[in-house]
A and B are shown apart, each in its own frame.
Chain A
Amino acid sequence: MDKPNPDNRGEFFDQFLDDYYTECDEHLVSIRRSLVVLEDDVNTYALDRTLLDNLFRSFHTLKGISGMVGLAAAEQLAHHLESYLRELREGTVVLTQSGFEALVAGVSLLEGVIHARRNDQPIPSIDQLVERLQAISVDSVTSEAPAATTETRENDSTITRWQVEFTPTAELAERGVNVNSVRARLQEIGQVLQAKPVVKGAGEIAFEFIVAADVDQTAVASLETDGLTFQPAPVEREPRTREILPTPMIAPASVVRVDLDRLDELMRIVGDLVISRTRLDDQVAELKRVTPPAAWRSLQEVNLTMGRQLRDLRESVMRVRMVQIGEIFERMTFVVRDLARENGKKIIVQLSGGETEIDKFLVERMMDPLMHLVRNAVSHGLETVAEREAQGKRSEGVLLLSAMTAGERIVIKIADDGRGIDRGVVIERAKPKGLNPENAEIDDDALLNLICTPGLSTRDEADRESGRGVGMDVVKKATEDLGGRISLSTRIGEGTTFTIELPLTLAIAEALIVSVNGQRFAVPQSGVREVLEVESASTRVLENNEIISYRGKVLPLIRLTRIFEMNHQRGEKFHVLVVGEETNAVGLAVDRILGQREIVVRAIKDPLAQSRGIAGATELGDQRVVLILDISALRQLAVTSRH
């Protein structure tokens, strides 16, 4: 095996980049969480010591690991943020509003620097921010005695203090009982005020915890297992005990971190199993045809049991890949605060369903699009305080971020109670581009289509100003690429709601297996709204488009034979899969529906084999490869081939 050469430092530390980004993310999440709390303490002397310690340590670690991977801008910026935090902690400066804002801006820039490195983009300059941080450190020095930071969480003296002793051993550690797990357990019954190691008579090490807990002797007695002993603690404390609170950064001992690649690998193996099971299924079906029941019945039972177990396995693996969406919501809250301050708006962010879980891969892909919707809501949807008051609305705008699961899908809503989207303005903008030429009244779906047309958004300028390359068209595309769907609901003066529906996971999907011209294709079922049976005689041709009537409207047909240039033989009847939103639904014409299958989605990596309209490939039981259709790309191909 090739060993990395420690002499070549750059190369050597490059192998840790993935760990680095993961850890940076964790610290940035924790920092944002702390800053939201810290904001309430601006201009007060009573800063929460634990909070400052955690912030300080996060910046300190970011500085350390950034230095190791040679990202000097992040290292320096983290260093200056750390220095400012040290001054706050030592009480030599007061946290002013401008100081807080510099802190927030610094964190955003730090994130930007790391993000840029990760995506091989130019690293933004940190000079201005560094100056700003240095300036506040000087400006806000107190002339009086240093402000005392509060000892956090003074304890109610009526609550009993317990002294708990834990003696670690190799056997206990093997069973997962260690200083961390013990502390976590104590944290559940009360507050751990102190944790320190002591050496007992024979030189053995033990840990002494002081816990303030409102429990009685019988309750603690039940905890006296695994080398723990309890006794009421002497009331006098040492002059200055270090308070120990759990830090969100340190994962409890029972949590492991796993590289997403490894989970992908695991998912791939599960996928292979799914395929083998399909093969077994086919074999059993074949046996059924040619042998009496006695010969195949028990095999069939085993096969069905395996099917169930496989589903359980698949679900368990999927669950491992899930992360809570609340983490993204917190990031958004942070962006909202930042933007609201810049724009002179007052905004209350309401979160709901933060515990909803979503595939890590989806989270990463949807991060920017969701952020774009939130920025839009704050910059354009919600009004200023004056505007709101003039309309008799409460002065704070409300931004609701919610998530929930519905069956196999997750529904994310971003709703504001702002001014709503002005259809008139959008229609005016659409006219010169030849969109909506009839000047017709448009419903929410049509409106969404218009604002998602590249180059049409009334907000493009502002978005570019704020340095975001994402537009509504990108939001829509990202959602659809992931097999999701976006919808809009807006009313003038009342607000706008964007609803995004996504599949919970991507790797394994339910699909319809169809045949066109003797070729089989898989169509992800999440994109299919309805399946119709159509008489060939009932189709019409309009402006070079084949159409059928569908629910009183016209449904354009997509012929795969045309797109993929295959021969086209027509039967008397065929099937149509209705895909897409109500207003721009299209029908995918296929010869036959062969069945419904659980398919394992494999990306086609060979550029020679990649083709627009094909999302990937899958394998069915008979070991033949079946192409998976990319519905949204096909729709676009159909549109362009018409013109």
Chain B
Amino acid sequence: MPDESKLNNILVVDDSPTMRRMVITSLGSLRHVKSTQAGSGLEAIERLAIEPVDLMVLDLNMPDMHGMEVINFVRKHQAYRNIPIVVLTTKSEESSRTEALAAGANRYLTKPFDPRQLADVVGSLLQTS
């Protein structure tokens, strides 16, 4: 059993519980990771306050606080600025990719996603960060 505290903590943010389970299961193939989940932007930020987060998988279209606002908040504050963010969103507006990347998202993936690809992207970001 690896030491809990040395595991990379991935915060999965999506308002759909089904989607969160899909993402978490997809990331299950990665080594030395654990995941935490949040159902809204506000909850995501609360998680950041409570525990160290090593990477975020973030949906955009959510109630309360849009994913874009989460990116802006995270990138604006020193303590969280370096957390890698993978945006994982259902394709709806073409402009959102440019917008999200400009705001500071590291990667932009669309749903339906390929579980292997998601795990690869997350895995490589964790290695380089």
Contact = CB atoms under 8 A, between A and B. Distances in A.
B109 to A, nearest CB: 12
Contact of A250 (B40, B50, B77, B116): B40
Interface in A242-260: 242, 244, 247, 249-250, 257
A178 B46 contact: yes
A6 B26 contact: yes
Contacts of A22: 18
Contact of B46 (A7, A68, A173, A257): A173
Interface in B101-127: 111-116, 119
Interface string B51-65: 100000000011111
Interface in A134-159: none
Contacts of A86: 92
A435 interface: no
A203 interface: yes
A183 B50 CA distance: 18
B45 interface: yes
Contacts of B119: 6
Contacts of A20: 18
Contact of B64 (A15, A19, A64, A244): A244
A19 B17 contact: yes
Interface residues of B, number: 39
A204 interface: yes
A68 B73 contact: no
Interface in B15-69: 15-19, 21-22, 25-26, 28-29, 39-40, 42-43, 45-46, 48-51, 61-65
A82 interface: yes
Contacts of A183: 42
A24 to B, nearest CB: 9
A57 interface: yes
Contacts of A550: none
Pick the most buried of B29, B43, B46, B116: most chain A CB atoms within 10 A of its CB.
B46
Nearest to A202: B79
A63 B90 CA distance: 8
B128 interface: no
A181 to B, nearest CB: 11
Given A179-B42, A179-B46, A204-B49, A57 B15 contact: yes
A23 interface: yes
B15 A68 contact: no
B45 to A, nearest CB: 4
Interface in A168-222: 168-170, 173, 178-180, 183, 195-197, 199, 203-205, 207
Contacts of A61: 15-16, 19, 90
Nearest to A19: B18
Given A68-B22, A168-B50, A207 B112 contact: no
B63 A249 contact: yes
Given A64-B90, A82-B92, A169-B50, A195 B42 contact: yes
B78 interface: yes
A79 B19 CA distance: 17
A9 interface: yes
Interface string B64-86: 11000000010001110000000
B111 A179 contact: no
A203 B79 contact: yes
Contact of A6 (B29, B40, B111): B29
Nearest to B115: A6
Contacts of B49: 167-169, 204-205
Given A64-B19, A170-B51, A57 B65 contact: no
A355 B63 CA distance: 27
A178 B43 contact: yes
A541 B34 CA distance: 75
A90 to B, nearest CB: 11
Given A168-B50, A199-B77, A12 B112 contact: no
A197 B45 contact: yes
Contacts of B18: 16, 19-20, 22-23, 65, 68
A469 interface: no
Contacts of B111: 64, 67-68
A67 B90 contact: yes
A180 B43 contact: yes
B16 A23 contact: yes
Pick the most buried of B17, B25, B49: most chain A CB atoms within 10 A of its CB.
B49
Contact of A9 (B28, B77, B115): B115
A203 B48 CA distance: 11
B112 A68 contact: yes
A207 B78 contact: no
Contact of B25 (A4, A197, A242): A4
A527 to B, nearest CB: 40
Interface string A1-45: 001101101001101100110110000000000000000000000
Contacts of B92: 60, 63, 79, 82, 86
Contacts of B46: 168, 173, 178-179, 205, 207
B115 A12 contact: yes
A60 B16 CA distance: 10
Contacts of A70: 112
Given A68-B112, A179-B42, A250-B15, A57 B90 contact: no
Nearest to B39: A250
Given A16-B21, A65-B18, A169-B50, A196 B115 contact: no
Contact of A65 (B16, B25, B61, B73): B16
A196 B62 CA distance: 14
Interface string B1-23: 00000000000000111110110
Contacts of A75: 112
A412 B17 CA distance: 33
Given A63-B90, A67-B112, A57 B25 contact: no
A633 B42 CA distance: 56
Pick the most buried of B26, B45, B111, B114: most chain A CB atoms within 10 A of its CB.
B45
Contacts of B45: 179, 197, 205, 207
Nearest to A244: B64
Contacts of A64: 16, 19, 90, 111-112
Contacts of A16: 18, 21-22, 25
Nearest to A206: B49
A51 B65 CA distance: 16
Contacts of B22: 13, 16, 68
Nearest to B23: A68
A369 to B, nearest CB: 29
8 contacts: A57-B61, A57-B63, A60-B61, A75-B112, A179-B45, A197-B42, A247-B64, A250-B39
**Which 6 A-B residue pairs are closest in the complex by CB-CB distance?**
A64-B90, A205-B49, A67-B112, A6-B115, A19-B18, A197-B45
Given A7-B116, A204-B49, 5 more contacts: A68-B112, A70-B112, A168-B46, A195-B65, A203-B79
